Structure 1
Amino acid sequence: MANQDDKIKIITDNRQARHLYEILETFEAGVQLLGTEVKSVRAGKVNLRDGYVLVRNGEAVLINVHISPYEQSSEYFNHDPRRTRKLLMHKKEISKLIGQVEQKGLTLVPLKMYFKGSWVKISIGLGRGKKLHDKREDLKRRQDQRDMARALKR
């Protein structure tokens, strides 16, 4: 039987990342947040669209992800919306990411942010940028699948 703490509640999803990148592998990481950031995340005030992940000094950091300031807090205690946030991952995972990002020219993008129990987690994807013709092929393939599903439904 599933434990009560293992419930996953998705906060936000970066749908554009799957359109712009061919995701080869996904990783789960914890996010180091401040108190006001957690309250804003619980309210769903997060935007992953422009975010990306870099590895600096052996640590993975989340850059350019917008978490809105908490509205019921004073300005003095609030956080910077686009501050750099540390990702909590195992050393083995980080070293694997370093090797793949540097050698193969891949990019790390945030795919979705969710609560796993009471912890805020982020799913990051190791992806290669798609060319324009790849995006068009994907759209065409998806449309063909929809048409076939409609035809089979009748």
Structure 2
Amino acid sequence: MYALKTLFHVRRTVSILFLTPNQPIRFRKFRFGEWEDSKKKKSFDPRLFQVSDESGKMVVEEIANFDQESLDGDDVMILDALNVIYVWVGAGANQDEKKGALNTAKKYLEQGNLPRHKQTTIETIFQGRETPTFKKFFPSWDDELFQRDERTVANMRKLLFE
């Protein structure tokens, strides 16, 4: 008979767990007074920020419910993907926005508001050269969107409000 004995020493009691070949092995961790299932992952929703100096000063604004069309080709965007911070550089972004976005991403990472892996990196991505891992945060990614539609969010604002 095949059996796996696992001993847990919790509160001075010993539990023996017998697993047969048909049972999946599930590990649990005792933490903060209760058992946590190792298969349950804490969910994290990526966050997107727009970095722009269109108003004359550097402004960082979070974009809620974002999609690919939220990426403004005239600015720099910061995508917080928990283990990687992406700095997406739009084709029309100026030098101040590029520098400001990188500094903002570094400060954001240093704040440490979220539990992150120690090896969290900042990756720079240029418009039109997005990696597959970056694209996966935008479920309906269209490689031709920026090529066929030159209108950016900033240009649309100008058209609407001028």
Q: Quick check: which has more Rg, 1 or 2?
A: 2
TM-score, normalised via structure 1 length: 0.18
TM-score, normalised via structure 2 length: 0.17
Give the structure with the larger strand fraction: 1
Give the structure with the larger helix fraction: 1
Q: Which of structures 1 and 2 has the larger relative contact order (alpha carbons within 8 angstroms, sep 6+)?
A: 1
